[in-house]
Amino acid sequence: MVNSPMTPESTIDARSGFCSESKIFHSIRPTVILPPNKLHISIPTYVFSLLHQNETSPSSTAFINATTGEKLTYTDLRSKFLSLASALLTSSPNADVGLSKGDVAFVLSPTCLEIPILYFALLSIGVVVCPSNSVSTRKEIDHQLELVKPTIVFATTSTAHLISPDKNITTVLIDSDWFQSCLQHPVKIDLKDAGNVKQSDTAVILFSSGTSGKAKAAELSHRSYIAMIAGFQVLRRCSEVMLLIAPMFHSLGFFFAIKGVALGDTTVVIGQRVGLSDMLRVAEKYKVTTMTTSPPMVVAMSRLDDINKINLSALKIVICGGAPLQQASTLHFTAKFPSILIEQGYGSTEGGSVTSMFTREECQNFKSVGRLFSNIEAKIIDVDTKEALPVGKCGELYLRSPTIMKGYLGDEKETDLNVDSNGWLITGDLCYFDEEGYLYIVDRLKELIKYKAYQVPPVELEQVLANHCEIIDCAVVPYPDEESGQLPMAFIVKQKESSISESEIMTFVAKQVAPYKKIRKVMFVDSIPKTPSGKILRRELANQGLSSN
């Protein structure tokens, strides 16, 4: 059990992790000892120290690109990133690089095996990695470049056009002959003191999803990732073959790529967009044991007709994140794949990729997103009184841990709104803990529907709707009403042969919820707009609802 320095262990409930004196929930996971704060150590140094500790064979495979068939052994990964790091520290006639500690490198590339090599090289010399989505628009990229003001851009021949020429930033093409030659550059640095990196130094700048506005740039330190990796290390059982669906510019994809190396896993990536069946054939070919997914993918797998033609006997765990997974979807999945466990988790760009998670023994609690990760503290704060709440009470989730971001780059005001003076991250999520320390997400606080004097969680209504046999997908958003303030409005994707009516849907929900939570309006649509990770684009639906009336 991990305790705060001033928290007597006797006041912490062993089952829930709740301290009755401080009103803080503590992780009940195994204690994780982190390196002393003053010790200079980078992510790559820490990762490769664990790799040695885990007795991973240098000749074993670290990464596989399923699109090209390329493989990268642990020996190759280490030698190539050290060669690249040496090259990037030196200016040459072919490229004006000469990077220094604290420089920011903007990375704009589709998934390929050069990306983890580049990440490790940059991190080892203290250069800040700032990955971006290679399918972004030039306008979005311009905004991001203005935010982070990078020293250098790493792109490819297919993405370089997104960098405006007037930005006048040195751009290196990852698929160029010069970059490839850097992977064989003579190594002139030692990993241990390559960049004299402090744990508190910024390692990565990640862009928040931006579903509520323009993307913000969250700074995360080397210690943030060291803490997350350390938490997985104590739970490690054996090496896995991980199919990493999340792209490596995403907070989860970035972390799992780094974590996989530390734990001696083989990480399989796909270098281009493919359909679900092709994705599962990749899992079959490489005998994948674990894969990352999003809620839409879990639903799609449950509905796949030709699944019996694909051998997924090696697959034991599906990790689902990015958005809440409805219980009905979980039940449908487990009915179709009884030998595969679904591990839901909770995390964020700002709070670290993993805040709560399941172990294999805990996966039957389908409603929860797991127990607090190692070294994490939480509070549940009453939305009105701002008082800390006990077990079973619902309020806003506050988090404190070494994994939390340093702040939003160049936006002190926004940082202060999201991280208080005591280091608590204000998540904006409405949650509660049960008596066994499981965390439950009720809804986003900002997405609550204000009906008269009541607050109605859209996710709760979506869970009810998802249980209707004639509904394929659904979303609930607020609809403005002069008398009531806001009305719960449901957007419904129904089965093709269904003749269900608006009134039948409203009656179905009304029988299962309190009167103030009733669905008051219904609109049938062909699909629910979502982000790639499965988050519902509620503002888009709200605008659609307004324009239809």
Q: What CATH number is attached to the domain comprising 506?
A: 3.30.300.30
pLDDT at 6: 45
Torsion of CA 187, 191, 197, 198, to 10 degrees: 180
Distance in angstroms (rounded) separating the CA atoms of residues 121 and 110: 18
Q: What CATH number is attached to the domain comprising 23?
A: 2.30.38.10
Of 406, 424, 447, which one is at a domain's C-terminal end? 447
Residues 380 and 457 in one domain: no
Residues 455 and 481 in one domain: yes
Domain housing 541? 448-547
Cβ–Cβ contacts within 10 Å for residue 151, how many? 18
Furthest C-alpha separation in the chain: 74
pTM for this entry: 0.85
Q: Is residue 214 part of a domain?
A: no
φ, ψ for residue 131, nearest 5 deg: -85, 150
Q: Is residue 455 part of a domain?
A: yes
Distance in angstroms (rounded) separating the CA atoms of residues 279 and 293: 11
Q: Is residue 434 part of a domain?
A: yes
Total structural domains in the chain?
2
Residues 441 and 480 in one domain: no
User: Quick one: how far is CA 21 from the chain centroid?
Assistant: 32
Ordered alpha helix ranges (H), 382-529: 412-418, 458-466, 502-510
Residues 476 and 517 in one domain: yes
- Axis-axis angle for helices 222-233, 251-262 (nearest 10): 60
Using H for helix, E for strand and C for coil, what is the string for 242-280?
EECCCCCCCHHHHHHHHHHHHCCCEEEECCCCCCHHHHH
Of 408, 429, 447, which one is at a domain's C-terminal end? 447
Instruction: Find residue 216's DSSP bridge partners.
Output: none
Of 447, 466, 491, which one is at a domain's C-terminal end? 447
Residues 525 and 462 in one domain: yes
Nearest to 290 by CA among 209, 203, 232: 232
Please, what sign has the CA dihedral across residues 437, 400, 443, 391? positive
57, two tokens: 């064979």
Q: Is residue 503 part of a domain?
A: yes
Residues 522 and 459 in one domain: yes
Q: What is the mean pLDDT of each run of 10 residues along the chain (549 residues)?
A: 48 93 93 92 94 87 96 96 90 69 96 97 96 88 94 96 90 94 79 76 87 77 97 88 92 94 96 88 97 87 85 94 80 91 90 82 81 95 95 97 96 93 94 95 84 84 91 93 88 93 95 92 94 83 85
Q: Is residue 536 part of a domain?
A: yes
Residues 501 and 452 in one domain: yes
pLDDT at 171: 94
Cβ–Cβ contacts within 10 Å for residue 525, how many? 17
Residues 463 and 496 in one domain: yes
Q: Is residue 439 part of a domain?
A: yes
pLDDT at 211: 46
Note whether 522 and 502 are within 8 A (CB). Answer: yes
Note whether 43 and 226 are within 8 A (CB). Answer: yes
